[in-house]
Structure 1
């Protein structure tokens, strides 16, 4: 298990963009050149190829409209957990079911977690999510939702490269509670984060 002392958390910003950029470049743009823009608002700029996605993500970062907790090992980003408000991250998988079963919007969403392949299976996903929760607390806290894979009844192992937002069990360890199913293998988990003092 990774320890907080071995790594530090930085917020995604224009200053940390080079480290984020280098990590995504090392992994061929992530998921076919996505650049972690899929959850951002839909529009003609989105999905126009890896370089266009990279430019769009950088524009969101420059405007302060893209947030993530970066796990840093020295000057190198080795993981991130993307988070934001529903206005910043409106796109969700299984949206029709999600809308039909929700009672209210959260204050924040954690939508995507990625770990450098050299650092997987060392507890880094947990550090990234904890970092996102700390940054949300510093921003005033509130109700946080996330949409991990629910592998509770699954007998077959799933490759960690497909677990783009962690697992239900991980979120339960971090104090989230199960709210409802979303799609066949995902669920909605919720946690109230108190403002940082």
Structure 2
């Protein structure tokens, strides 16, 4: 993404068997993302330490083929440059700080947004926010409902200390607020639960 490229030139497409090759190329360019996860961590009830880069890739591919993995993919032309993973809780059962989350939950959401990732060449240019908006649009098309996100709460970050964009696996609280979410409760030391009700399209 050069200095003249804006998010206006980017498009959103859903993750599917048709867009899998572009998604796979994006993940492969970043060594499988997050230690070879291939964006599978939230799909499993417990993290399997025996899984590998290859088995995670095969798992994700199988979930896409069976319609059990959803994401809004951001495209620059034919190249995928980011995504926002979303799905119902039964599709994405795993969460960080799970015990605290379960203990403070009043009712489950209809959808979760669990992972937002942006190509390193496109970071800090609004692509994450575009991916989030794309996920909300696809959720609306799927019937809408209560949506939860779990962003990093930068107010909990020590003053003067910056965090690498690569560690913001689900964006920031401010980005969610700008997308119409409201703060629900803290989750862990530096994350929180944000909610928004999305009307059906």
Normalising by structure 1, we get a TM-score of: 0.95
Residues 1:116 and 1:44: Cα distance change in structure 2 (over 3 Å): closer
**5 Å matches for 1:41-190?**
41-42=44-45, 47-154=50-157, 155=159, 156-190=161-195
The runs of at least 4 consecutive aligned structure 1 residues that moved more than 6 Å come to 43-46
Establish whether residue 9 from structure 1 lines up as the match of residue 12 from structure 2: yes
How far apart are 1:126 and its partner, in Å?
0.3
Deviations 1:69-92 (A, max 9, x none): 000011100000000000000000
Alpha-carbon separation, structure 2, partners of 1:86 and 1:46: 22
Alpha-carbon separation, structure 2, partners of 1:150 and 1:44: 24
Residues 1:61 and 1:40: Cα distance change in structure 2 (over 3 Å): same
Deviations 1:41-60 (A, max 9, x none): 23797851000000000000
Deviations 1:112-148 (A, max 9, x none): 0000001011100000000000000000000000000
CA RMSD of aligned residues (A): 1.6
Deviates more, 1:73-82 or 1:154-163: 154-163
Alpha-carbon separation, structure 2, partners of 1:135 and 1:191: 14
The answer to whether the 8 A contact 2:156-2:189 is kept is no
For 1:58, what is the secondary structure of its paired residue? helix
Q: Equivalent residue for 1:193?
A: 198
Structure 1 unaligned segments of length 5 or more: list them: none
Q: Equivalent residue for 1:36?
A: 39
Alpha-carbon separation, structure 1, partners of 2:19 and 2:73: 8
Structure 2 unaligned segments of length 5 or more: list them: none
Normalising by structure 2, we get a TM-score of: 0.94
